[in-house]
Amino acid sequence: MAYASRIINHSKKLKDVSTLLRREHAATVRNFSNTNRAPLNREDTFSTRLGYSPLERISKCSTSTVSLLLLSVSVFFSTARTNLNSAMGRPIFGKGFSCLMQSARGYSSASDLPPHQEIGMPSLSPTMTEGNIARWLKKEGDKVAPGEVLCEVETDKATVEMECMEEGYLAKIVKAEGSKEIQVGEVIAITVEDEEDIGKFKDYTPSPTADAAPTKAEPTPAPPKEEKVEQPSSPPEPKASKPSAPPTGERVFASPLARKLAEDNNVPLSNIKGTGPEGRIVKADIDEYLASSGKGATAKPSKSTDSKVPALDYVDIPHSQIRKVTASRLAFSKQTIPHYYLTVDTCVDKLMGLRSQLNSFQEASGGKRISINDLVVKAAALALRKVPQCNSSWTDDYIRQFKNVNINVAVQTENGLYVPVVKDADKKGLSTIGQEVRLLAQKAKENSLKPEDYEGGTFTVSNLGGPFGIKQFCAVVNPPQAAILAVGSAEKRVVPGNGPDQFNFASYMPVTLSCDHRVVDGAIGAEWLKSFKGYIENPESMLL
């Protein structure tokens, strides 16, 4: 009975919940401001809003009732925070919260700036860490709507259109057209809800710069301490290091080249402090000593004679994003992947005969012609289905073997090397493969490939034979794939005939398979080449 009376007595306090929620709303809004007003502590908050002290609250509230009240306050905080930050249609956290979205709503401490949205550089591919602004399709002051293209972003692999996610007005373009090496998440533009607020952001600085100030202010006290310690010690070090000599009884360690250079210039090694491994004196130490002591005059005439050579005429070409990613990925491949290479010659007489027949059918039906490269892609896909070990990639914990056969085709453009992908090439016909390869190659040359056009490949084909006449070459494995096929040019050769004095002519096309030895053993690579050669020399089997 006493328990029931306590519940009834406390139910009267629940009538004040609406007042409590309104006060919590005001407190939440104050927490978003940058004023110096100190927040209320927990005891003051509950004593002010519930009308009694914490001890009275504990004595008068049952466990279930307190849980209900705290649940209501928690729900309010979640609702109030969402309403506060979702004025443009979706929750966007403010400065006090961490968020993975590329756009964030800003609340400036300045009274003349209304709420705004900061649009950051998006991550448009799995490997993208920075991007360039290729072109702005909207100007400052333009109205934007969801789905409209704001700008074109040059990623590490292609140029991609960046669409607007919310309705508003483009108040300020932070990163102008042509800006390069913009980090993912860095603010590139600002939008507002009302058109009359556009002029207020003419000289606005994005919030990340303001957020960077406290982060820089934190380590600032530490460097002065380090500088104070280094300043008294640093001046005597260079003065004492050059004249200082090690004890005469100790052995002086120096490289043979340094010893010879010291003997030629009559420099005692005991006067030089070595900077090599374990204090060893190297050639650079001798050169520095000679330069500081003025004994390097004998070497200057040789430099003067070299200065008579006329300067080279050159042009510095800045790196494009695709050039940077190609350089880093291929350098990573050669440094970390144990390559080995297998080469085989394939007779392509029957392949060319079949191609001629198929092209006659294509021309009669108004279709596009089929190329040798289309047949190579189809044969490689079927060989991967027969030898799936080559359709794999290496990880530290396992070898991932793919069930999809997606063939990347290397395409050279003015901007760099692209490798668009033909997905499920083993299930597609030659006409479909040819159409997709031509479309992807055209998009690569126009620099309009989308991420889905080049991601997800499991094997790569690089053909330098047909377009350039290269006889044979070894390609670099495209990570994380385990193999790449290099196709050379076909040439006629004299081959023995049936009789002792008979001979024939045949066309042979050399192909080289580059393999990752961690994934594909030599015998497996040879088995794949045997299967590929069978499809090339008997192309009718690809139609089965």
The domains located in the chain, with CATH, are: 116-192 (2.40.50.100), 323-542 (3.30.559.10)
Label residue 252 by pLDDT band (50, 70, 90).
confident
Phi/psi region, residue 143 (left: phi>0; alpha: psi -120 to 50; beta: rest), is: beta
Q: pLDDT at position 247, please?
A: 46
Label residue 118 by pLDDT band (50, 70, 90).
confident
- Residues 483/390, Cβ–Cβ less than 8 Å: yes
| Residue 423 pLDDT > 70 | yes
The answer to whether residue 339 is catalytic is no
Catalytic option among 44, 194, 424, 521? 521
Specify burial of residue 223 (Cβ count, 10 A radius: 0-12, 13-18, 19+).
Answer: exposed
Q: pLDDT at position 498, please?
A: 84
The answer to whether residue 44 is catalytic is no
The answer to which of 187-196, 205-214, 230-239, 302-311 has the lowest mean pLDDT is 230-239
* Closest-CA residue to 271 (of 297, 299, 293): 293
Mean pLDDT, the chain, whole residue set: 75
Catalytic option among 10, 25, 339, 517? 517
Q: pLDDT at position 442, please?
A: 94
Task: Give the Cα separation of 483 and 341 in Å (integer).
Answer: 10
- Record the tokens describing residue 286, joined without a space: 């001798």
List Cβ neighbours of 526 (8 Å cut-off, separation of 6 or more): 342
Identity of residue 280: R
Q: pLDDT at position 11, please?
A: 55
- Three-state DSSP state, 367: coil
- Three-state DSSP state, 235: coil
Task: Give the Cα separation of 221 and 228 in Å (integer).
Answer: 11
Query: Of residues 484 and 78, which shows the higher confidence score?
Result: 484
The half-sphere exposure of 364 on its side-chain side, counting CA atoms within 13 A, is 6
Kindly report, residue by residue over 39-90, the tens digit of the pLDDT. 444 444 444 444 444 434 333 333 333 343 333 334 333 333 333 333 333 3
Label residue 127 by pLDDT band (50, 70, 90).
confident
Q: pLDDT at position 540, please?
A: 92
Written as one string, the DSSP assignment of 522-534 is HHHHHHHHHHHHH
Angle at the Cα of 96 from the Cα atoms of 91 and 98, rounded to 5 degrees: 65
| Residue 180 pLDDT > 80 | yes
Label residue 6 by pLDDT band (50, 70, 90).
low
Q: What is the mean pLDDT of residues 36-41?
A: 41
Q: How many other β-carbons are positioned within 10 Å of the β-carbon of residue 244?
A: 12
What pTM was computed for the model?
0.56
